[in-house]
Amino acid sequence: MKKLMIIFLALFAFYEYIYYIPNSSSYKSTVTNIESSTTYSTPTDKQIAQTHPKVTHSKSSPTTAFKNHWSRVQVQGSGTVSHIFRDDTTGSRHQKFILKLPSSQTLLVAHNIDLAPRLNGISKGDTVQFYGQYEWNPKGGVLHWTHHDPKGRHKNGWLKYNGQTYQ
């Protein structure tokens, strides 16, 4: 039990360390966009269709998901790489980087490199297109499931970079 608690605390500390960037302008711009601390539930397909009639199957923009505090929503878009982190090698390995979206929102991408190829050569200023599952947080959100699901239980996601699709 002690080992599990230590592992949990280490993972939490690591998450806090990599995601809270003290001198990042993207961090500051995202925080200033927060209007309330109200908690919202995950939207249904019907709720999304009412606010965005052209969107179906829980696919939305990350900006809409962020403004509405939605999580577990499929989103699609593109952004510019503003920060690159070292790979997270705890458990399933993930390549992590932050995208700045056209709306000025920031989005942490956690791309599972045990299930999909890594984006080699990625650097600040590069454009990346994405489709994956969005999880809300006050910093702009996290995008994951940017790969295929080997068990076929989840919608397949992808990243597009330099003319290549990674899934």
Q: pLDDT by residue (tens digit) across 12-52?
A: 444 444 444 333 333 332 222 233 333 333 344 444 444 44
pLDDT in the model for residue 60: 83
- Reported as half-sphere exposure (CB side, CA atoms, 13 A), residue 142 has a value of 15
Instruction: Name the residue among 113, 147, 106 with its Cα closest to residue 130.
Output: 147
pLDDT in the model for residue 47: 47
Residue whose entry in the numeric block shows the structure tokens 């994405």: 130
What is the CATH code for 2-166?
Answer: 2.40.50.140
| pLDDT in single tens digits along all 167 residues of the chain | 666 555 645 554 444 444 443 333 333 322 222 333 333 333 444 444 444 433 334 568 999 999 999 999 999 999 999 999 999 999 999 999 999 999 999 999 999 999 999 999 999 999 999 999 999 999 999 999 999 999 988 999 999 999 999 99
User: Which residues, including other chains, have CB under 8 Å from residue 87's CB and lie 6 or more apart?
Assistant: 93, 94, 95, 96, 113, 118
pLDDT in the model for residue 69: 95
What are the structure tokens assigned to 25, written together?
Answer: 């302008």
pLDDT in the model for residue 10: 52
SS3 assignment for 62-112: HHHHHHCCCCCEEEEEEEEEEEECCCECCCCCEEEEEEECCCCCEEEEEEE
Sign of CA pseudo-dihedral 119, 124, 129, 131: positive
**Domain definitions of the chain by residue range:** 2-166
User: How big is the CA angle at 89 (ends 86 and 93), to the nearest 5 degrees?
Assistant: 100
Give dist(CA 10, CA 1) in Å, integer: 14
- Helices (H) and strands (E) counted in the chain, each on its own, are 4, 8
